[in-house]
Structure 1
Amino acid sequence: MNDKNPDDDADDVTRIAPRPPNPTAGQAAASASAADTQDAKTRLSASFRTQPSAPEDDATVIAAVKTGTQPPAPANPPNEDAETIVVSPAPATPTPATWRTAAMAKTLSFSTGSPSAPLTIGSVIKDRFVIKEIIGCGGMGTVFRATDLRREEAQDESPDVAIKVLNEEFRQDPELFIALQRETKKTQQLAHPNIVTVYDFDRDGSNVFMVMQILEGQSLRQYIREQAPDGLPFKQAWPIIKGLALALAYAHKHNIVHSDFKPGNVFITTGGDVKVLDFGIACAAARSDHDKTVFNARDLGALTPEYASLEMFENQPPDPRDDIYALGCVAYELLTGKHPFGKIEAPKAYAVNLQPPAIPGLKRRQWNALTHALAFKKAQRTPSIPQFISEFEPRSRITWILSAITVLALLSASGAYVYLYYNVDPLADKVIALTPEQELKIKDLLELAQIHYDVGFITAPSGSNALWAYRQVLEIDPYNKAAKAGLEKIANLCEQQAEELFAQNSITESMAKIEEGLEAVPKHDGLLALKKQILELEGQQ
């Protein structure tokens, strides 16, 4: 989010344009004439046959859905490819909800008049953030690089942050502001290495803004366009896809659905890390009764049509399977450089029964997993992200070994004695006082560790695995029993894998697995005994 590039502004462009209400799948099917059907099929076929080089936007579209009337279409000069079309919608007739909103705004001293001066280089927000440069313009607003004066005063090595100043739609509607603030607070709890960190959400005059982690690198959309126009080999694409899947799985576990997942909302850092952005406009999949203000991307008509599920066009409640459809589209794009349906929206593609072209060289197992995620109807779609990972992840000999181990563990669970070895510590049962923030952090880390364990991220990749998460817990609470049991579980699993490899005479692989386990529990009896046995055998040869 630092390296400025003319293409960056197109990564997440919002087109505020007159767009008729989206038809439901049934309406689309009923109204699609034979000519429409043939036209859609021709477009899709041509898109893959000609492979056009001109990039298309994956722009979030904010349609005029609140006005009840459609504003006139703007006139563009001939041959002008206007990436951003801005139309001022006609004012809506006041409703009881409008009066409630006005009262709410008065109570909160929310001012939508007297706009603040335009932000420029050197502007100061909230007497704290000094604008340094414009990073780009996105679906929610403009992103700036800014220096946090408090961090600078504390001599922080990285005092810069990213500030997203939201578009006028958010500034003029206090009810949306309140709802978005609530959703942003929820996303601040998403402590995951594949999700960009959101620090704060506030306003300064008429400027509504979010403070986020600053990133160095490029969007996934730009990455695909510049470095993988024809797609990546599966082996190279899979780590990126899995990082995205883990981010979504973690959010879903916290009842948050992204709802606008696309390449423009994914960032590849210069260090190769994958980060998912813009959970700030995500939808909460489940809300408590007191959560009266319901906000989601559909309330503004904000979605990216080519990555939106069929159910989103039908205005159904947010569902994790919405994100799974979008993830399937992004995964296909990473592997081919092209959208699976030629950027045709789901209702139109469904109406004419379009199917994504097969990917040469992709194994049947991965292809089946991909088409499962791309199913138009959510009842036929992959039900969860962990299942997507399980279906899509390449199988190895170790996977089959783990399956056998799982069966054995289930068989022994009814009566087997499980020996948990803890390092000798006279204070092992000591309970230390934790702040509410620390308790919440530990809870999140333990959930994250379990997700990593379930999908097979045991000791790798670095900074995003079960071992790392359990260690983070123990840094906060050195006596946390759940974290210690988690490390023991990792060590036991490594011991079982090492024994299987040793039985197959794969000595090198067995020793590597032993060392992995000893990272979790250095004094693990079983691992040390097996290591001694292997070293003695090697010494006899």
Structure 2
Amino acid sequence: MNADDLGNITARINSRLTNRRSSDQDAATSGAIQKVENSGPLKVGSILNRRFVLKEVIGSGGMGTVFRATDLHRLEAQGQQTDVALKVLNEEFRDDPELFIMLQRETKKSQMLAHPNIVSVYDFDRDGRNIFMVMEMLEGKPLSHYIQEIARRGGIPFDKAWPIIEGMALALGYAHKKNIVHSDFKPSNIFITYSGEVKVLDFGIACAAVKSKHQSYEVTVFNPRNLEALTPAYASLEMFENCVPDPRDDVYALACVSYELLAGRHPFSKLLAQKALEINLQPPAIPGLKRRQWNALTHALALRREQRTTSIAQFLDEIRPKPAWSGVPGTAAVKASTHALALKRNQIRVSVRQFFSEIKSRLLRLNILGVVTVTALIAAGGYVYIYPSMNAASPVVVELTSEQQLQIKDLLELAQIHFDVGYITEPQGSNALWTYRRVLAIDPDNREALQGLEKIADLIEEQANELFAQQKFEECLAKIEEGLKVQPKKDRLLSLKEQILKTRR
């Protein structure tokens, strides 16, 4: 059937629904539908349950084929989104007479997973021998395609991979709280939308991790392991041993996928977990990855469950980027670290004052009159203070210590990570603004930190303009005040504030 045929059928169905034609016309249209439904294997133009018109194949895998389909009910209601993703299970999954009931039960669980990083599942049904799931339609590409693109570059830096890793982890962590283990977590079951959202798929065929004693009738559930639906390269050792599903199975798979993002390759070259254990294979170190993140990855990649990271929450806590000098804001560790930083700054101030005093004494002894000025410049990869004298050809130069330079470098890197993941001015004590200011506390004229503050102010200004365009003036004023705390003399923010205040007079 070609596109014209599909268009004709859809038009006839829509016309019948909206114009309520005669019963004879209804019968003729119904006959056309039945002819399509019974014409053989599913293909573009087929109609399932007299509702879903298959438009194109958008993917296929071990479990089934995914079609883009038009939902005629949504079309009748003139909904904005009339297309859905329809996953039709492969033929080998249709032969078990209990499979439909089992999958339907698991789909009900997946419908409880209302989370921004989990694809929405609308329904689970069958039409004849065709068993299918109805899900939200996503626009973008699977993570497997993205990994193929970055593989030739050897992966991506942690700060770019972190939003994806965090999105995947939040989805799994939420499901685990609902006692659902994914059991087939892999790059092709993760989707990156064009807007950058991370969506995890196929929770509808996941194993239930824990069974209530009051729900003994659910002991026999659809288990993808028994039907060989697992993906060997991402399956934990315990999955091959048919152990009880455990969140740590998903932790292992998540670590494998995270490693692929960072290194562009599988940590064990896609060998089965048993083989990797047998030959004592260790994942190669990832160049440029900080020790904290590397330790978190290797902990989650432990081949034996008892040695592996216990939960998604622990994995996030271990791998999440954090300042090396602080812990959770508000704890004693932060206070101690802040105090240490203050002492360090005081030491620097004392050293500078002593240096000033010494220079002044020398100048007085030489009877040199005038005012000593201080200028901060960039030189030899670090920051130096230059004190001009009457002899401009021989300035006195004092470099920041290597420790201070390293601290500034780490702070700038952390600030950029905060900015990339959206931690602009919040949470307190762990955001881009706070970190850039820590740099300026060490070096008040640091060019990158000053540019960072300007970048933050520009972003806040853009958000304020959007709120102004939406006539959300109270929110806009709050956003302006936020921006003025970053740059108190930013002209465009001051002008926008004045414009709003004039409308109130």
Which residue of structure 2 lines up, in the alignment, with residue 190 of structure 1? 113
1:173 to 96, 103, 107: 96
Q: Secondary structure at the match of 1:251?
A: helix
1:405 maps to 2:330: yes
Residues 331, 529 of structure 1: CA spacing in aligned structure 2 closer, same or farther, 3 A cutoff?
closer
CA contact (8 A) 1:194 1:243 kept: yes
Amino acid at match of 1:377: R
CA contact (8 A) 1:257 1:283 kept: yes
Amino acid at match of 1:132: K
Q: Offset of 1:528 from its aligned partner? A: 8.1
Distance 2:430 2:68 in 1: 49
1:200 to 105, 123, 127: 123
Q: Secondary structure at the match of 2:56?
A: strand
2:267 to 324, 329, 340: 340
Q: Offset of 1:306 from its aligned partner? A: 1.2
CA offsets, 1:186-227, max 9 Å, x none? Answer: 111212222111111011122111001112222211222134
1:127 maps to 2:50: yes
Amino acid at match of 1:374: L
CA contact (8 A) 1:115 1:205 kept: no
Distance 1:336 1:499 in 2: 31
Amino acid at match of 1:150: H
Q: Offset of 1:393 from its aligned partner? A: 2.1
1:359 to 244, 268, 286: 286
2:195 to 268, 271, 274: 271
Q: Offset of 1:158 from its aligned partner? A: 2.1
Distance 2:257 2:45 in 1: 37
Distance 2:80 2:174 in 1: 29
Q: Which has the higher contact order (CA 8 A, sep 6+)?
A: 1
Gaps of 5+ in 1: 1-113, 411-456, 468-489, 537-541
1:303 maps to 2:208: no
Q: Offset of 1:325 from its aligned partner? A: 0.7
CA contact (8 A) 2:151 2:265 kept: no
CA offsets, 1:382-418, max 9 Å, x none? Answer: 1111211221122236xx44535134899xxxxxxxx
Q: Map 1:381-392 to 2 at 5 A.
A: 381-392=308-319
Residues 529, 315 of structure 1: CA spacing in aligned structure 2 closer, same or farther, 3 A cutoff?
closer
Distance 1:408 1:362 in 2: 25
Q: Offset of 1:258 from its aligned partner? A: 0.7
The structure with the larger Rg is: 2
2:162 to 231, 238, 243: 238
CA contact (8 A) 2:326 2:334 kept: no
Gaps of 5+ in 2: 1-36, 336-416, 442-448, 468-473, 490-505
Amino acid at match of 2:56: E
Amino acid at match of 1:125: L
Which residue of structure 1 lines up, in the alignment, with residue 322 of structure 2? 395
Which residue of structure 1 lines up, in the alignment, with residue 400 of structure 2? none
Bigger proportion of residues as helix:
2
CA offsets, 1:50-73, max 9 Å, x none? Answer: xxxxxxxxxxxxxxxxxxxxxxxx
Which residue of structure 1 lines up, in the alignment, with residue 135 of structure 2? 212
Which residue of structure 1 lines up, in the alignment, with residue 209 of structure 2? 285
CA contact (8 A) 2:163 2:421 kept: no
Worse-superposed segment, 285-294 or 143-152: 285-294
Residues 460, 143 of structure 1: CA spacing in aligned structure 2 closer, same or farther, 3 A cutoff?
same
Distance 1:209 1:193 in 2: 23
Amino acid at match of 1:240: I
Which residue of structure 2 lines up, in the alignment, with residue 418 of structure 1? none
CA offsets, 1:485-504, max 9 Å, x none? Answer: xxxxx98x538988898798
CA contact (8 A) 2:453 2:486 kept: no
Which residue of structure 2 lines up, in the alignment, with residue 431 of structure 1? none
Amino acid at match of 1:344: L
CA contact (8 A) 1:170 1:177 kept: no
Which residue of structure 2 lines up, in the alignment, with residue 494 of structure 1? 428
Amino acid at match of 2:50: D
Amino acid at match of 1:341: F
Residues 137, 499 of structure 1: CA spacing in aligned structure 2 closer, same or farther, 3 A cutoff?
closer
Residues 503, 313 of structure 1: CA spacing in aligned structure 2 closer, same or farther, 3 A cutoff?
closer
TM-score (norm 1): 0.56
Residues 132, 529 of structure 1: CA spacing in aligned structure 2 closer, same or farther, 3 A cutoff?
closer
Q: Map 1:32-51 to 2 at 5 A.
A: none
TM-align CA RMSD: 3.9
Sequence identity (%): 59
Which residue of structure 2 lines up, in the alignment, with residue 79 of structure 1? none
Q: Offset of 1:117 from its aligned partner? A: 3.5
CA contact (8 A) 1:116 1:206 kept: no
Q: Map 1:383-462 to 2 at 5 A.
A: 383-396=310-323, 400-401=325-326, 403-407=328-332
Q: Offset of 1:347 from its aligned partner? A: 0.8
Residues 295, 496 of structure 1: CA spacing in aligned structure 2 closer, same or farther, 3 A cutoff?
closer
